[in-house]
């Protein structure tokens, strides 16, 4: 199980926005540079299901099941790559029929990129749906310290 400790910044319905420190786990991630390029440095904000009933200012433990993390990582990396390859293959297959007089690599590139970007759009729509969003959302599993903890 992957865990981070952070402070609740705000509560939005069933979700809480938690500010956490980037851990050593992030250092081993190949996407770590991308996150830092987005202005994160050592602090990041995470939207998590507020199952513990945390309030603003509470120090909480945010968890993600290892199986869920691996499944989400697979989807984020492999679906776009697979779509890119399938698009390029489809473009290469259609190229002789659409442009029989000239062999071109333009159609495989265009189809590959279209499929690549469509895969992100489809994953976004899928995760916003009933099944996708909740399944991959981190959870506030415990209130470590704060107003809600003191009232228990």
pLDDT single digits (tens) 57-88 = 899 998 887 787 788 788 888 999 999 999 99
| Spatial contact of 84 and 113, defined as CB atoms under 8 Å apart | yes
Q: What is the pLDDT of residues 72-131, one digit of tens each?
A: 788 888 999 999 999 999 999 988 787 777 667 888 999 999 999 999 998 888 777 654
CA torsion sign for 19, 20, 26, 32 is: positive
HSE at residue 13, side-chain half, CA atoms within 13 A, is 1
DSSP state at residue 103:
-
Ranges of H-type helices in the chain: 24-27, 32-37, 66-98, 106-128, 130-136, 147-150
| Selection from 74, 57, 66, 72 nearest residue 18 by Cα | 57
- Confidence at 34, pLDDT banded by 50, 70, 90: very low
Q: Which residues contact 83 (CB under 8 A, 6 or more apart)?
A: 115, 116, 118, 119
């Amino acid at each position: 199980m992957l865990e981070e400790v952070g402070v609740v910044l705000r509560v939005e319905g069933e979700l809480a926005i938690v500010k956490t420190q980037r851990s050593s786990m992030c250092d081993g991630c190949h996407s770590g540079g991308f996150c830092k390029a987005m202005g994160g440095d050592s602090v990041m904000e995470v939207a998590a299901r507020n199952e513990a009933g945390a309030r603003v200012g509470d120090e909480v433990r945010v968890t993600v099941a290892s199986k869920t993390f691996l499944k989400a990582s697979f989807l984020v990396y492999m679906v776009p790559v697979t779509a890119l390859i399938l698009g390029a293959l489809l473009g290469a297959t259609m190229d002789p029929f659409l442009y029989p007089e000239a062999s071109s690599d333009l159609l495989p590139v265009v189809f590959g990129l279209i499929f690549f970007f469509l895969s992100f759009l489809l994953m976004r729509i899928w995760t916003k749906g009933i099944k996708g969003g909740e399944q991959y959302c981190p959870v506030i599993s415990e209130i470590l310290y704060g107003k809600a903890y003191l009232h228990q």
